[in-house]
Structure 1
Amino acid sequence: MSDAESIRYRKQGSSEVSSSHHENPKGRIYIIGAGFAGQTLAREIERKGIFGNVASYLDDNNEIIGSHIDAIPVFGPVNDIIPMLEPRGDDMAIIAMPSVSRDRIREIFLQLKRQQFSTIKILPDMEQIIEGTAHLVQTREIDPQDLLLRKPVQIGLKESISYLRGKRVLITGAGGSIGSELSRQLLHGGASRLYLFGHGENSIYEIDRELRLLQQEGVGEKATIVPVIGELQDPDYMDFIIPRLKPDVVFHAAAYKHVPMMEHNPVMAVKNNLFGTAHLLNALKSQSGARLVLISTDKVVEPTSIYGASKRLAEELVLSRGEESRNNDIMVVRFGNVLGSRGSIVPLFKKQILTGGPVTITHPEMRRFFMTIPEAASLVLKAGGVGTGGTLYTLEMGEPVMIRDLAEQMIRFYGFEPDKDITFEFIGARPGEKLEERLHDDGETSELTEFPGIQRVSARENRVDVEALMTELQPLCYRSREFPEQYRNRRLLRSIMRKYLPSLKEYPDEPEF
């Protein structure tokens, strides 16, 4: 293409750009990115014919600017063309550039917002998209987590989860934030069965329906999806169901995890997070060769909260069982907060911003590790395939982030100015919270593995005798004839746990029940 032609395609009038391709009363769709992912989306949109028409591609590649791909024109560069667009009410922009940086995505998004696009969608930043399986059903409206923090570690997902091909895979807590994302990504692994296990029927119904829709739209590979409503806290049920499901691999994501809520319900936190894990491990003994990956949290490091303490004990239990087991590979993967999880600060900040504020922050110095849910899930799946029994792994989280900085970025995402349009209110740390979390305690050291984003942690020097502790806690969580007066005694529970984990916070006025 000549220089004159290149300039014409770069600088042509907004009316020509906006009216490109054939008209459709449902609105025009502009696809930012004319690569494989963008082209796959365009073909699907054109084939279905019910979402609108693809008006044009926008791209920065000089070699294709000015050309047509399947009769759809390619305009560019992106920064020159977006200001020329004049979107109507039903017009949509889809950012189909899964391999570019977050800074570039943010730049494009802000340009589209300035042009007053009412709908801006994005392909998720997941490796299976880069590997060429983009589908319209995978697009979603752009969210603050798409623009915040560092670019996630990318892994070859299909290759990483090839160990699951033909396997029966059980995901506990499949309706939760991490469990549901594990389930989505597992569609690409060629598993024979995906067991979606949880005790909340609504959340299991939602992920079951979503996975079936994804399969219907051609996402991933065929797998039989089996929803299982069950209770980890019931040992008889677990002993019954596991031999019938016969899972080859278990991703144990189920947990009660809201820190302040569990401070008020400590017996249930221990019963679910510790005893539930024990029941799963006991039942899994019947499945020779099965692998289990416990999803853990940075709150286990010198835990001050009941949630952190219950997960620390679950870690200890899994690691000790993993060291002892000759038939099963049992391991732990620990990481920090994930953006956008249910009950996390991102959805809370969004609600507060969209209602005019104030944005509530517990403490001006509060900071946390963060990563996206898809990144955490993909690294967990990778670790599950390369990890060895009795080993603790942590995910590379980058540097901890100031919560106020996160809030300020979100306020700007929604078009407001911090401290001017939206104010802050500091409300004080909640029960069980620390100002800063760590991924390792003083008795642990980590080392790099050959797999990016995954570190191996050395065994702790001072291990807790979890089996002895569970014997003491048993009558508090399960009514016994011998000690009926101890049942659900939360003050006694905390006292017993503090003997093993002295960092656990003590409340002098804690009620007995």
Structure 2
Amino acid sequence: MFQPVLTLFSAKRITKRVVTVCYDIIAISAALYFAIVLRTGKMTIPFGPEELTSFTLTIVVTLLVFAKLGLYRAVLRYMIVPALGHIALAVILSAFALAISSFYTHSYIHRSVPAIYAGLAVLLLGAPRVLIRMYFDRYYRKGKPHVLIYGAGSTGRELAYALRQGSEYHPVAMLDDNRLKCGNIIYGLKVYHSSEFETLNSLYRPVKLLLAINNISKGERLRILEKLSHWPIEIQSVPSVEDIASGKSSLTEIKDLDVADLLGRDSVAPQEELMKACIESKAVMVTGAGGSIGSELCRQIIKRKPKLLLLFELNEYNLYNIERELQQFIKFTKQNIPIIAALGSVQHKNRLQNLMANYHIDTVYHAAAYKHVPIVEHNTIEGIRNNIFGTLFTAEAAMDTGVSNFVLISTDKAVRPTNVMGASKRMAELVLQALAGKQSGTTFTMVRFGNVLGSSGSVVPLFREQIKKGGPVTVTHPDITRYFMLIPEAAQLVIQAGAIGHNGQVFVLDMNEPVKILDLAKRMIQLMGLTEKKNEKCDGDIEIRYTGLRPGEKLYEELLIGENVTGTTHPKIMTAKEEKLSWPEMEAVLEQLDEACHTTDLQKVRNILLNTPTGYRPDGEIYDHLFNQYTELKL
């Protein structure tokens, strides 16, 4: 029955407009005819030159008004009931045109005919449009999974409209905590109070609850999520207002809850004068530019209008991705900032020197490092070479080429480390502290912080993947805790710390309270609409399995070594005075370490790390693959 309609809607736009105009001419003519018939009670009507003129003027005026109001630009299948208002306005003007034209042409039309005509015209012109809209609404809704929208504000209204036009989800109702909004109808959806969720859940069987609230504080958002986490439904969110406004995301890009929602932490707005101090109109270099922190540093730097941005990265694919993203940003913002994508390793000093000298680099952010604890634990030599000697070579290249500011991205694992990765990062700090005491041309600062959510090694994407696969979710220990920070916040604080730093300072970022990993896993399971399976006999969806601490892993991370901690001009940045070595002492240690690495003497490497003021206290044997292989061969 509706096959011709479906065929018509797949036709070209000009064809559809011609068909619509032809129908409107027929409908207007029919409305005129039946209006006179109803008034006179006769099927035949007088039709002379006067009536023809009046009818023609009425049809022309109506079509012009329809075109002016955009009714021929609107797609019929997407029209909604409020569009009938435009039709009503057009018909009223059409009725006036009929009355005026019949008066001046002395046509045989009674004075009550325009009123009857108006009623018939609204019916004949509006009803087909509404019916087509209803048909397509039902046609495209068929098979679409039901969803509920939480939030009846502006974001919720826009989401409801977008989803009704799309083909992925069918919104069935809206929920809100504000009782004043309850009972309202928004794009055909009734707004219910959040306390009515169970009733709606039983009635519609929705597959998801879409969170559409963007104008509230993180604390209020966390309170809402805490309540929603007990509802037996998967919860997803719409992108933030900032992402939508920047074009990074669209409203209909429904996604899993942002990791910030799981923590509920409020970040401090960056101080722009500090953000620009070492960047604006300067040549800036980022090592490890394709990594989680490095790429975010690049995003923050490019917004502060550097003279040039040099991306230094070992991984070709990561370098390609960040360069493409930054080039698109520059094109979108119509800026003229050169982006240099340079492949290379921080272990090649000559390569670093050439790049820094040729591009007259002013500021270096050194984010290149091996950071994954178990992998570095099993590959000790490469971890030492990259994290310690890579930092040394990059710093020496910076001094040789007159770089003004050098900022090292350090880690909380450098504090009383129990693993090689943490010890290597603490040693890198000691290297820069020693170089800072040796010269004053380059200002060396170190910024230490904990885990960043959403990074390549973060537990959040791992947990999400495990939950989607049906579990189990793996947690190393029920009591393990970690400090967490969002990547943009961490990058902003690194840049600001580098701007306020004096030569050789170690900065510590305020990470708020540490988070228990087990609690994070449980919350993610709940917010994905599932329940924890506590044992084999217990009903539940996802099991949490404890795998034991990995080599070199600590239960609790720390951010400070000494107790001499002072604040800075920034509320989230602190500085600590810690034990350090002079350059001659550090140089002697590095020579011994270089020789031990060259001969693959892992026991000597460990002893050097133990005897240097790194605070290194390994909790077990040497786990390196080569060391264990040599041991087995000797046996």
Common fold: TM-score over 0.5: yes
The offset of 1:158, in angstroms, is 4.1
* SS of equivalent residue, structure 1 residue 321: helix
Match of 2:346 among 232, 238, 254: 232
Number of residue equivalences = 469
Deviation at 1:235, TM superposition (A): 1.9
Residue 169 of structure 1 contacts residue 193 of structure 1 at CA under 8 Å; is this kept in 2? yes
SS in 2 for 1:187: helix
Structure 1 residues 61 and 412: CA distance shift in structure 2, 3 A: closer
The residue that corresponds to 1:328 in the other structure is 442
- Provide the C-alpha distance between the structure 2 equivalents of 1:144 and 1:360, rounded to a whole number of angstroms: 21
Q: Is the contact made by 1:187 and 1:222 (CA closer than 8 Å) also made in structure 2?
A: no
Aligned equivalent of 1:149: 263
Paired residue for 1:171?
Answer: 286
Q: Contact between 1:243 and 1:287, CA under 8 Å: does it hold in 2?
A: yes
1:503 and 2:616 correspond: yes
Query: Of the candidates 306, 312, 317, which is equivalent to residue 197 of structure 1?
Result: 312
1:367 pairs with 2:481: yes
TM-superposed CA distance for 1:292, in Å, is 1.1
Q: Distance in 2 between matches of 1:79 and 1:313?
A: 54
Structure 1 counterpart SS, 2:342: strand
Aligned mate of 1:263, from 377, 389, 407: 377
Correspondence 1:208 to 2:336: no
Mapping 1:31-46, distance limit 5 Å: none
Once the two structures are TM-superposed, the CA of residue 147 in structure 1 deviates from its matched residue by 1.3
Does residue 473 (structure 1) correspond to residue 593 (structure 2)? The answer is yes
Partner of 1:252: 366
Q: 1:133 to 1:511 in 2, by over 3 A?
A: same
1:283 is displaced (CA, Å) by 0.6
Aligned CA distance change for structure 1 residues 166 and 109 (closer, same or farther; 3 Å): farther
Q: Percent identity?
A: 32
Residue 397 of structure 1: how far off its partner (Å): 0.8
Q: 1:426 aligns to what? A: 546
Q: Which residue of 2 aligns with 1:69?
A: none
Work out the CA distance in 1 between the residues paired with 2:586 and 2:82: 67
Asked if 1:356 is matched to 2:467, the reply is: no
What's the counterpart of residue 401 of structure 1? 515
The whole-number CA distance in structure 1 between the counterparts of 2:500 and 2:244 is: 24
The one-character-per-residue Cα deviations of 1:368-387 (angstroms, maximum 9, x if unpaired) are 11111111111112112222
- Assess if the C-alpha contact under 8 Å between 1:288 and 1:328 holds in 2: yes
Q: Does the Cα contact within 8 Å between 1:395 and 1:454 map onto a contact in 2?
A: yes
Q: State the match for 1:6 in structure 2.
A: none
CA-CA distance at 1:317 after TM superposition: 1.1
CA contact (8 A) 1:33 1:97 kept: no
1:167 touches 1:191 (CA, 8 Å); kept in 2? yes
1:151: Cα distance to partner?
1.7
- The 1:512–1:316 alpha-carbon spacing in structure 2 relative to 1, beyond 3 Å, is farther
- CA–CA distance in structure 2, aligned partners of residues 396 and 95 of structure 1: 30
Q: CA deviation at 1:59?
A: 9.9
2:572 and 2:617 mapped to 1: Cα distance?
Answer: 30
Q: Please give the secondary structure, in 1, of the residue aligned with 2:452.
A: strand
1:318 to 429, 432, 457: 432
SS at match of 2:566: strand
Q: Does structure 1 conserve the Cα–Cα contact (< 8 Å) formed by 2:531 and 2:541? A: yes
Bigger Cα Rg: 2
Q: Give the CA deviation at 1:272.
A: 0.3
Return closer, same or farther for 1:88/1:496 CA change in 2, 3 Å cut-off.
same
CA–CA separation in structure 1 for the residues paired with 2:357 and 2:150? 49
Residues 62 and 134 (structure 1 numbering): CA distance in 2 closer, same or farther, change over 3 Å? farther
RMSD: 4.4
Gaps of 5+ in 2: 1-78, 84-132, 142-146, 535-539, 631-635
Distance, in Å, in 2 between the alignment partners of 1:21 and 1:93 is 25
**Residue in 1 aligned with 2:528?**
414
Contact 1:301 1:308 in 2 (8 A): yes
Aligned to 1:307: 421
Residues 162 and 59 of structure 1: CA distance in aligned 2, closer, same or farther (over 3 Å): farther
| Alpha-carbon distance between aligned partners in 1 of 2:604 and 2:233, rounded to the nearest angstrom | 59
**In structure 2, what is the Cα distance between the partners aligned to 1:116 and 1:508?**
46
Q: Residues 239 and 123 (structure 1 numbering): CA distance in 2 closer, same or farther, change over 3 Å? A: same
Query: Structure 2 length as normaliser, TM-score?
Result: 0.63
Partner secondary structure for residue 257 of structure 1: coil
Gaps of 5+ in 1: 1-17, 67-71, 480-485
1:177 positional shift = 0.9
Shift of 1:490: 2.7
Residues 335, 395 of structure 1: 8 Å contact kept: yes
**SS at 1:161 equivalent:** helix
Note closer, same or farther for the CA distance 1:196–1:426 as it changes in structure 2 (3 Å cut).
Answer: same
Q: Does 1:491 align with 2:603?
A: yes
Shift of 1:452: 1.7
TM-superposed deviation, 1:120: 3.3
Of 410, 416, 438, 2:558 maps to 438
Which whole-Å CA distance do the structure 2 matches of 1:467 and 1:87 have between them?
71
Instruction: State the Cα deviation string for residues 198-238 of structure 1 (Å, max 9, x = none).
Output: 100111111122222333444x9552222111110112222
Residue 569 (structure 2) pairs with residue 450 (structure 1): yes
Larger fraction in helix: 2
**Residue number in structure 1 paired with 2:14:** none
